[in-house]
C-alpha cells in the first residue's frame, strides 16, 4: 500500500501547494519542498529490511521488494497493480532527489501563479513515479499520459518567448507515440486472451506470451516508438531542443533528469522482455540509431550558440549510449545503461539549472553575449567546469563509469559500432570545453553585474557534485541494486533468442 500512498502524497501535496498561494505567495514552494522530502523519507522507510541479492523471476510477484494489486475493472482484466524492485527503486530515488533540485532551481524564478506552478511540478513527479511502479499495462499507459499534462502546462504557461510552439510540439510527439503504444498494449492483451482464455493487462501475465512473428514485430514497434520518442533517440528527437529551450528551469531539470529516463525504463522493462524474438531482429537497427544519435547530437551541440540548446543536444548524444547498452543486452552494457540513466540525470539537471540561473541573471541564453563570467561569478564558474567535465566523461565521475561499461559491453557484440560510438566521447570533450570557453573564459564585461550562486544554489549544486563523485568512485551499491533485476530480465530471453550475450563470460551471440 505504501507505493499508492507515495503517489497520493505527491498528488495531494500538489493540491495543497496550489491552494496555499491564497495564504502567502511564498508558501507553495515550502509546501512543495516539504512534500518531496516527506515522500522521499517515506519511500526509504517503507522498504523491506532485506532486499534480494539473487536473480528473481519477474513473472512471479513474490520476489519483488513490494507488490500491490487492487481490483479496478476486473471485467476487462485491469487492476491497480504496482510493484517495486531494485531498478524501480533507483529511478524513484533519482526522481524525488531531482524533484528537490527542480524546486530549488525555481525558488525565486516564478512570480506568476506560484501555487499552480508547484502543483504541476509535484503532479509531474507523481506521474513519473507511477510510470516506474505500474505493472498493469493499462495503468502504465495512464500514468504515461498523465505525466505529460502538467509538463505541458509548465512549458506553455511559465516558458519563455516561444513557449506555445514548444509545448504543443512536445505534446503532439509524445501523445501520438503514446497512442501507438496503447494500440500495441491492446493487441498484446487480446493475444493473451486468445492464448489463456483470460483477459489481463498484467505485466506478469503477458511475459513469455508466444506471438506470431509478424504480429510480434509490429506490436514491438509500437512500444519502441513510444519509448524512443521519449528517450529521445535519433531521428525522433526534434521536440527535445525546443522543449528544453523554452521550458522554465525546473521544467528543464525534470525533462532531462527524469522524463527522458521513462523511455529508457520502458525499453528495459517492457519492450525487450515482452518481445524477445522481435527485439533480436531489431537490435542492429536500434544500435545503429543509438550510434547515429551519439554522433549527431554531439555535432549539433557544438553548432549551438544557445546555452540551453547545446545542453539539449548533448542529452540526445548521451542518451544514445543508453539505447546502445540496452540492445547490446549483456551484463556490462545493461549495467552501463542503468548507470547512464542515473549519472546523466544528475549531470544534465545541473547544467540546466546553471543555464536557467544565467538566463535569469543576464536575460539571455546566447553564449556570444557572455564571456568572462568566471571573474564575476567564480562559484558559478567552478560548478560549470565540474559538470562540463562530468558530461564529457572524466574518469572518476559517474558518467565515465556509465559510458565505459556501455562501450565495453558493446565491443563484445559489435566492435565497429563501439568504435564509432567512442567518437561521441571525443566530440563531447570538444563541445563541453568550447561551452566553458565561450561562457566563462575571456575578458569580462565591466558594465555587467552578475550575482554569484547563493547558499541555496550551492547546496543544490554541492549535492549533485557529491552524487557524481560517489557514482564515479564507488558505483558498486548502484550496480548491486540493479544486478538482480538485470539477471531476471535476461532469464526471460533464452540464449537461442537472446538479443546478445546473457552473462559475463558467456558466448556472445551477435544479432
pLDDT in tens, the chain (511 residues): 788 999 999 999 999 999 988 888 889 999 999 999 999 999 998 887 765 554 456 665 556 888 888 988 888 889 999 999 889 999 999 999 999 999 998 888 888 888 999 999 999 999 999 999 999 999 999 999 989 999 999 999 998 888 899 999 999 999 888 899 999 999 999 988 888 888 889 898 888 788 888 888 999 999 999 999 988 888 888 898 889 888 898 999 998 889 989 999 999 999 989 988 888 889 899 999 999 999 999 999 988 888 889 999 998 999 999 999 999 888 899 999 999 999 999 999 999 999 988 888 888 888 888 888 888 888 998 999 999 999 888 899 999 999 999 999 999 888 999 999 998 888 888 888 888 888 888 777 777 778 888 899 899 999 999 999 999 999 999 998 888 888 888 777 654 333 443 333 333 333 3
Distance, in Å, from the CA atom of 492 to the CA atom of 335, rounded to the nearest integer, reads 17
- Predicted confidence at residue 51, as pLDDT, reads 59
Q: Please provide the DSSP assignment of 59-92 as one string.
A: TSSTTSSEEEEEEEEGGGTEEEEEEE-HHHHHHH
Q: Report helix, strand or coil for 134.
A: strand
Q: Report helix, strand or coil for 136.
A: strand
* CA 341 to mean position of chain CA atoms: 6
Distance, in Å, from the CA atom of 462 to the CA atom of 446, rounded to the nearest integer, reads 29
Q: What cell was used for 39?
A: 515522500
- Predicted confidence at residue 58, as pLDDT, reads 60
- Predicted confidence at residue 237, as pLDDT, reads 86
Angle at 344 between CA 122 and CA 418, to 5 degrees: 145
Q: Please provide the DSSP assignment of 223-278 as one string.
A: HHHHHHHHTT-TTS-THHHHHHHHS-HHHHHHIIIIIHHHHHHHIIIIIHHH-HHH
- Predicted confidence at residue 497, as pLDDT, reads 34
* Crossing angle of the two packed helices 415-440 and 307-328, in degrees rounded to 10: 160
- Predicted confidence at residue 56, as pLDDT, reads 55
- Predicted confidence at residue 150, as pLDDT, reads 93
Q: pTM for the complete prediction? A: 0.90
- Predicted confidence at residue 499, as pLDDT, reads 40
Q: Report helix, strand or coil for 202.
A: strand
Q: What are phi and psi of 366, to 5 degrees?
A: -75, 115
454 to 308, 380, 459: CA distances (angstroms): 21, 9, 9
- Predicted confidence at residue 195, as pLDDT, reads 82
C-alpha dihedral (395, 397, 400, 402), degrees to nearest 10:
150
- Predicted confidence at residue 382, as pLDDT, reads 92
Amino acid at each position: 500500500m505504501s507505493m499508492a500512498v507515495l503517489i497520493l502524497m505527491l498528488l495531494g501535496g500538489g493540491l495543497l501547494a496550489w491552494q496555499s498561494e491564497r495564504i502567502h505567495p511564498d508558501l507553495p514552494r515550502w509546501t512543495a519542498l516539504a512534500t518531496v522530502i516527506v515522500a522521499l523519507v517515506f519511500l526509504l522507510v517503507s522498504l523491506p529490511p532485506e532486499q534480494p541479492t539473487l536473480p528473481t523471476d519477474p513473472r512471479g510477484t513474490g520476489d519483488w521488494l513490494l507488490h500491490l494489486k487492487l481490483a479496478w475493472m476486473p471485467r476487462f482484466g485491469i487492476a491497480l497493480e504496482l510493484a517495486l524492485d531494485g531498478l524501480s527503486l533507483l529511478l524513484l530515488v533519482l526522481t524525488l532527489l531531482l524533484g528537490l533540485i527542480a524546486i530549488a532551481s525555481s525558488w525565486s524564478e516564478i512570480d506568476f501563479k506560484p501555487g499552480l506552478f508547484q502543483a504541476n511540478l509535484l503532479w509531474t513527479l507523481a506521474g513519473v513515479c507511477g510510470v516506474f511502479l505500474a505493472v498493469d499495462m493499462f495503468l502504465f499507459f495512464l500514468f504515461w499520459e498523465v505525466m505529460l499534462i502538467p509538463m505541458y502546462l509548465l512549458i506553455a504557461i511559465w516558458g519563455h518567448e516561444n513557449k506555445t510552439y514548444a509545448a504543443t510540439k512536445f505534446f503532439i510527439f509524445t501523445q501520438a507515440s503514446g497512442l501507438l503504444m496503447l494500440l500495441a498494449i491492446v493487441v498484446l492483451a487480446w493475444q493473451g486472451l486468445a492464448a489463456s482464455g483470460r483477459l489481463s493487462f498484467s505485466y506478469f501475465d503477458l511475459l513469455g506470451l508466444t506471438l506470431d512473428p509478424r504480429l510480434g514485430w509490429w506490436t514491438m514497434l509500437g512500444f519502441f516508438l513510444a519509448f524512443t520518442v521519449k528517450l529521445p533517440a535519433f531521428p525522433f528527437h526534434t521536440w527535445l531542443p525546443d522543449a528544453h529551450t523554452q521550458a522554465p528551469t525546473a521544467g528543464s531539470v525534470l525533462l532531462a533528469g527524469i522524463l527522458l529516463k521513462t523511455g529508457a525504463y520502458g525499453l528495459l522493462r517492457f519492450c525487450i522482455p515482452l518481445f524477445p524474438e522481435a527485439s533480436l531482429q531489431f537490435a542492429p537497427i536500434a544500435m545503429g540509431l543509438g550510434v547515429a544519435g551519439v554522433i549527431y547530437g554531439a555535432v549539433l551541440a557544438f553548432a549551438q550558440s544557445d546555452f540551453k540548446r547545446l545542453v539539449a543536444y548533448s542529452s540526445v548524444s548521451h542518451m544514445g549510449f543508453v539505447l546502445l547498452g540496452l540492445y547490446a543486452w549483456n551484463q556490462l552494457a545493461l549495467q552501463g545503461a542503468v548507470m547512464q540513466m542515473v549519472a546523466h540525470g544528475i549531470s544534465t539537471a545541473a547544467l540546466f539549472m546553471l543555464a536557467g540561473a544565467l538566463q535569469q541573471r543576464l536575460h539571455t541564453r546566447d553564449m556570444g553575449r557572455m564571456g568572462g563570467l568566471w571573474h564575476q561569478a567564480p562559484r558559478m564558474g567552478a560548478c560549470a567546469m565540474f559538470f562540463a567535465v562530468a558530461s564529457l566523461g572524466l574518469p572518476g565521475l559517474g558518467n565515465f563509469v556509465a559510458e565505459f561499461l556501455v562501450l565495453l559491453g558493446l565491443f563484445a557484440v559489435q566492435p565497429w559500432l563501439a568504435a564509432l560510438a567512442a567518437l561521441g566521447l571525443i566530440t563531447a570533450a570538444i563541445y563541453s570545453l568550447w561551452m566553458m570557453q565561450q561562457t566563462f573564459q575571456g575578458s569580462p564585461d565591466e558594465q555587467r553585474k552578475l550575482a554569484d550562486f547563493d547558499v541555496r544554489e550551492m547546496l543544490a549544486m554541492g549535492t549533485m557534485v557529491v552524487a557524481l563523485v560517489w557514482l564515479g568512485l564507488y558505483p558498486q551499491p548502484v550496480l548491486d541494486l540493479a544486478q538482480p533485476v538485470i539477471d531476471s530480465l535476461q532469464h526471460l530471453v533464452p540464449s537461442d533468442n537472446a538479443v546478445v550475450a546473457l552473462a559475463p563470460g558467456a558466448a556472445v551471440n551477435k544479432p
